[in-house]
Each structure stands twice: as C-alpha cells, then as structure tokens.
Amino acid sequence: MSVSARYTKELRERFGYSATWLPTVRIGLGDVGRMVGYEFERLGGLADFGVRFEARGCESVGTMAYASSGGVEVTVGGTAEVASGPWAAPAGVAMSIKFSREGAVWFQAEACVVEAIEDLLALESEIVALNEAGKWDDDLVVVTEVIRAEQGTVLVSGGAQGGIDLTTRAEVPAVGGRAGVRVTASRNIGTQVVGYGDLTPLFRAKGIRRRLLRRATLTSRLDAGAPLSQVPEEQLPSVFLGDVDYDHFA
C-alpha cells in the first residue's frame, strides 16, 4: 500500500474527513477536481461552472492529533506520553517519537478552524442539473468543507524501529506547534512534513452517484445514521447528500 493510501485511510477512519496529500497542498471551498491515487487533483472551481455559494465559518479553534494505534511512542523530557496527543514540549526539552512498525503515522495540526459551504441543498440542485445537462462529469467532486490549520506536522515511518529525536527551541514554531525544534537524529522516517501558514490538512468532498432506477444525486458512501449497506433497498430514499472519499473512486 502506498504512503498516501495508508495515511489518508487512517485519518479518514479517525476523523471522518478526507486527508490532503501532500499535507501542505492548499485546498479551498468550492474547489472542483478528481480523487485520483489518494490525492485530490484540482481542475477548477465552482465559479467555472457558474455556481455561486456562501461560506460558513467557525470561531472555535482547536488542535487535532493522531498516532497509529500501537505503533507510536512519544517521549518528552525522558517521560513517555500516551500516544493519543496532542503533544507539547517546552523550549529546551528533548522530544523523541518512536515507531514500532513500518507505515505508522504521527499527525498533529494546530489552531484548527472549520469552514463549510452554507447551503448544500441549493448546491446539490445546481450540480445535479449540470450533470443531467452533460456539463458535470460523474467523477468530478466538489470540496464542501475544509479544516484550516496554522501549523501541521506529519511523520510516516519508513520501517520498524523508525524514529526522530528533537530538541525544542523558542525561536520558531515547532513540530506540534508549541516551540521550535532542531532534529538531532532521524532513522527510517519515510515521510516528514512540517508546514506553517494557511494549511488545509483535512477536507470533505461530494460527488455525483447513481442508483438503479433513480435520478442522479449528489451523494456519498457514508451518511448520517445507519450505513447504506445496512438499509433495506426498499427503504432507501431517492436522494442522499454526504461525503465521498478516495476509496469511492479507487
């Protein structure tokens, strides 16, 4: 399994959002593109299709953190911490992240806020109409929600016994966003990404799906309530509005 597939699958399972790969790639509300090879390929925006929308923001700010279960150990100042995060290390303290298996993921994003398209029902109506007119391909998706972060860090182990040793300092933002860091040692780290600025590490997208003997609909594999696989065919509503992920197009 590729690094991008492993990373995006784990974060989807943990947070219920699609993960941006590479994590520093900028994705915006209303972006239109395709999900190819566990990456979002931007082709344009809703404005290119004559579709307008309003954004809804959130003033709440938080930290999002994830570590592969049973695969990551974080040590701060010589003391092992529970690998569920978030993790913080004051300036001048040694920090060590150890991986016990290949492909284990360590993720943390700081100062996260959520932005979303306001009227999804109106958006659905316009996109379905475009699709029925042959102006919106079935494999196109539109980004309807993004999580923005000021700082983000992603580490993916390249092998068993991988790890990275850090010494924190105060001059610049850190891994995890608490203090600056200087890498003193690194072993078997397959992917290391530290990003600052207007990042969008997680997002949600929607796309056209079709059901037998039903009209086209902007829908998803996962929806609120029971999974579609558990709902009897005769009880399925004709329209679903929800998320699509990379696996939907794999």
Tell me the mean pLDDT in the region 24-39.
94
Confidence of residue 28 (pLDDT cuts 50, 70, 90): very high
CA distance 15 to 76: 25
Tokens of 129: 């109409």
Cα angle value 83/113/68 (rounded, 5°): 20
**pLDDT, averaged across the chain:** 79
Instruction: Quote the pLDDT of residue 246.
Output: 92
| 169-226 pLDDT per residue, tens | 554 444 444 445 566 777 888 888 877 788 999 999 999 876 655 455 565 544 444 4
Instruction: Say if residue 42 is exposed, middle or buried (CB neighbours under 10 Å; 0-12, 13-18, 19+).
Output: middle
Min mean pLDDT across 7-11, 57-61, 69-73, 120-124 is at 57-61
**Can you give the pTM of this predicted structure?**
0.80
Alpha carbon of 178 to those of 83, 137, 147, 157: distances in Å?
Answer: 17, 44, 19, 22
